[in-house]
Structure 1
Amino acid sequence: MKRLIPLLALGLSACGNYSNEDLDFQLALPQDGELEAKLPQAISVSDSAEYYVITRKVVTEFNAIARALVGLVDKVRGISPTSRKGSQRIWGPWDDDRHPGWQIRVLMDRVDNPGVPSGFNISYNVQVRSTQIAGAEFADFMAGSYAPSGNARRGQGEQHLYIQNMRDIGYPVEDFDQLVQLDLCYQTEQYPMVVHMFAQNQDTAKERQITYDYEEAADGSGTLYFDITTDRTLSSFDLRFISRWLGSGAGRADAYAVNRNDLLAGTDCWGPDTRATLSWRIDEGAKNSHESSLCAFAEPTDLEAPTCGPGSGQR
């Protein structure tokens, strides 16, 4: 998969100090690494389990998207707002260094919400506008919100990236290939923590929809749900992977053929060294070694992904 999210060059510069009232806005922004999947091994060996290698590749893609989304708003963390209007903070507008003829600004609003432990939500928007069109209004490049729990660094949030909207107004989005919109939601207030990503691509794309769901436990174990299309057999499968791992690194991944009533198509288990302890494929009967005692996990009993918001677990 091509890199979906390039960092947006905001061209920000320091402009004063934060006030105490600005801290709520700072704390609402997810930090680098906070929404990333933690697969223990960073490097595979030459004979790593096939499904471990696939899992590691998808984790890398997942983390790149999470890191870039955080980067879109993280650049305002170290500088004070350009202006303050009651419960609103504004950074910019600044000229877009990457795209002459465009300006960028960031808005953040604090909204009272007695239904959450902190008593408020924070919403934020990254917006662009053309400087070549008289009276052009700002349009949302990205929108997000965050509801803190009792711990300011823990809570529930969401982010939405509106690429087609940018195409419609002429903003350059060539780095985003065929992406139409990317939606992310997360909850970090308690374990297991959950991150959900959904990418909608243009109708002409090979993969029109891509979904990732990640769940992280307090002991360092994790689960990643993801869908891919493969042609490793004569007839292609739309595969749904459920990949799970322990804090030690041992893990298991199961692939289900979605277009064949969720038929189990393959399983790999691996030890802490990432080498396969079990490998089974539906089309390779003579080669299969399928002994469940060699796996760190039993076969999943539930193929549904965890949720972090209304409908976020639907596929």
Structure 2
Amino acid sequence: MRPLFPALLGLLTACGGNFSNEDLEYLNALPTREELASKLPDSAAFSGRRGERLSVGEPSPLYQDTRQASDNFNTLLDELLTLVETIRALPPTTREPHRRTWGPFTDTNQPGHEARFVMERQEDANVFTYQFQFKPIQADDSEWWSFLAGAFRADAGVRKGEGELHLFVGEAVAKGLHVEGLHPLQQLDVVYQTRELPTRVEMRLIAQSPSAPAEVRYTYRELPGGWGEMRFIQRDTEAVPGGQKEDVEITSRWTPAQGGVGTFIILRGDLTGAGYRECWNPQYEVTYAKRSWELFGTGDVSTCPDVSGFEG
């Protein structure tokens, strides 16, 4: 997906200047992809059918479901973070006590509007808030409104703490902004913590379209060295044989190089409450699979990697 505001990004990156030490304190409150993005090991695309009994050595359907969820999660993060990370590379246009401002700038892709990025340091010196704002070019300063809003509370060192970002897509559409492929969304929310391990990122999508699920959630957790966990709900899927489609909550955990373990619980449909466990190797092939209603599974459970670091 292309950046929402490429012309504005070009204007920002053309600006030069130097940073003060206090500027860097503001900029360190902004999140980065490295901190928040899912790092699920990649594989060539393939398809697997979860509703059928699997054999050892087949491509892992739960890995592929997680791959798609991870890609969706990262694509939406990119929409939020492209502008934020550009700001981090640039000195502010104006400096005031407890406040930094970038802009205002005009953007040829948003005719009739100008934009600015504002950061403020709160009375609690460890708390920073920020907004990416627009207003009609001829309007006065009381007309600025926030398309993106965020906050960060520093704790336990530089870039460690709790933060949140919110993208108000529905309001942007109502005010005449071009939002590219984000039209189906009403709002996108991200809440994260980096102060302790495992780090955690929660994403919520609120839909505008009545035909789409009202809300979609992803929860990503990470441990150093390439260990990760993704939890999400997959709706209207064929999880088990029967006359109904299922909603399932999938939790996948992976290692840096020894494969991973995925589970799901059926939330709605045939066999509500039933579960499933599947393990895959570094080639993303099934090594073990077991349904909760079966006495024995397929494959060898000892091949499942140890991902207990996410428990507790």
Band of TM-score, shorter chain:
0.7 to 0.9
Q: For the residues of structure 1 that align with 2:259 and 2:237, how far apart are their CA atoms?
A: 27
Q: Deviations over 1:17-52 (max 9, x none)?
A: 22222111111111232201121x222475521111
* Amino acid across the alignment from 1:42: D
Asked if the contact 1:92/1:105 (under 8 Å) is kept, the reply is yes
Q: For the residues of structure 1 that align with 2:18 and 2:32, how far apart are their CA atoms?
A: 20
Select which of 258, 266, 273 maps to 1:257: 266
> May I ask how many residue pairs the two structures share in their alignment?
292
Q: Secondary structure of 1:165's match?
A: helix
Residue 115 of structure 2 corresponds to 104
Q: Secondary structure of 1:267's match?
A: strand
**Cα distance change of structure 1 residues 212 and 281 upon mapping to structure 2, 3 Å threshold:** same
Q: Are 1:79 and 2:90 an aligned pair?
A: yes
Using structure 1 for the length normalisation, give the TM-score: 0.82
Residue 69 of structure 1 corresponds to 80
- Point out the more displaced range, 272-281 or 139-148: 272-281
Residue 8 of structure 1 corresponds to 5
Q: Report matched runs for 1:1-315 at 5 Å.
A: 6-9=3-6, 10=8, 11-12=11-12, 13-39=14-40, 41-44=41-44, 47-113=58-124, 119-131=125-137, 137-232=143-238, 234-259=243-268, 263-280=273-290, 289=298, 292-296=301-305
Unaligned runs of 5+ in 1: 114-118, 307-315
Q: Which has the higher helix share?
A: 2
* Amino acid across the alignment from 1:263: G
Q: For the residues of structure 1 that align with 2:206 and 2:303, how far apart are their CA atoms?
A: 38
**Cα distance change of structure 1 residues 269 and 96 upon mapping to structure 2, 3 Å threshold:** same
Q: For the residues of structure 2 that align with 1:67 and 1:134, how far apart are their CA atoms?
A: 31
Unaligned runs of 5+ in 2: 47-57
Asked if the contact 2:231/2:250 (under 8 Å) is kept, the reply is yes
**Cα distance change of structure 1 residues 74 and 43 upon mapping to structure 2, 3 Å threshold:** same
Q: For the residues of structure 1 that align with 2:20 and 2:33, how far apart are their CA atoms?
A: 23
**Cα distance change of structure 1 residues 28 and 61 upon mapping to structure 2, 3 Å threshold:** same
Offset at 1:205? Answer: 3.4
Using structure 2 for the length normalisation, give the TM-score: 0.83
